[in-house]
Amino acid sequence: MIGKLNHVAIVIPNLAKATATYRDSLGATVSEPLSLPEHGVNVVFVELPNTKIELLEPIDDNSPVAKFLERNADGGMHHICYEVEDILAARDQLVSTGARVIGSGEPKNGAHGKPVLFLHPKDFCGTLVEIEQV
Ligand code: CO
């Protein structure tokens, strides 16, 4: 069911510092920062030949990723996003196998303006999984 790896999201405390790490140390192409107040984050996209890395900085303490930083002060891998062709069919299949969808179960528009769902890490090897319809 799942297709390509769309992105890996890393939450970090300082976007400028993380941008410099990826651009200057790792030699990657990094986008200009983008503010997504509806998601509570500032983000840059690291463009790799086969996928993207998203560096997410919480906008404020109410950000959905602010608590993650309380537990991981230096930042860390937050979630991994797989592409699916049909998000409702994917959801129904996942639920039928006992997987838990986080929230209402209805897809929301994610950081790329496409429908996404998040799946409970306890059901997926300890990793928060995002599925995105592309
Ligand atoms: Co994501």
pLDDT at position 103, please?
93
- Residues counted in the chain: 134
Tell me, in angstroms, the distance from the centre of ligand 1 to residue 8's CA: 7
pLDDT at 112 over 90: no
pLDDT band at residue 113 using 50, 70 and 90 as cut-offs: confident
Q: Is the pLDDT of residue 110 over 90?
A: no
pLDDT at 115: 96
132 carries an active-site annotation: no
The mean pLDDT of the chain is 96
Q: How far apart are CA 107 and CA 103, in angstroms?
A: 9
Q: Which residues are within 8 A (CB) of 115 and not within 5 positions of it... i.e. 6 or more apart?
A: 87, 107, 108, 109, 132, 133
Distance 25 CA to ligand 1 centre (A): 24
CA angle 84, 43, 60 (to 5 degrees): 115
User: Which CATH number belongs to the domain containing residue 39 in this structure?
Assistant: 3.10.180.10
**Residue 63: Cβ within 10 Å count:** 19
Distance 54 CA to ligand 1 centre (A): 7
Catalytic annotation, pick one of 54, 57, 83, 130:
130
- Domain ranges, residue 66: 5-133
% of the chain residues with pLDDT over 70: 100
pLDDT of residue 34: 95
Look at the chain and report how many structural domains it folds into.
1
CA of 63 to the centre of ligand 1 (A): 14
pTM reported for the whole predicted model? 0.94
The pLDDT tens digits for 35-89 are 999 899 999 999 999 999 999 999 999 999 999 999 999 999 999 999 999 999 9
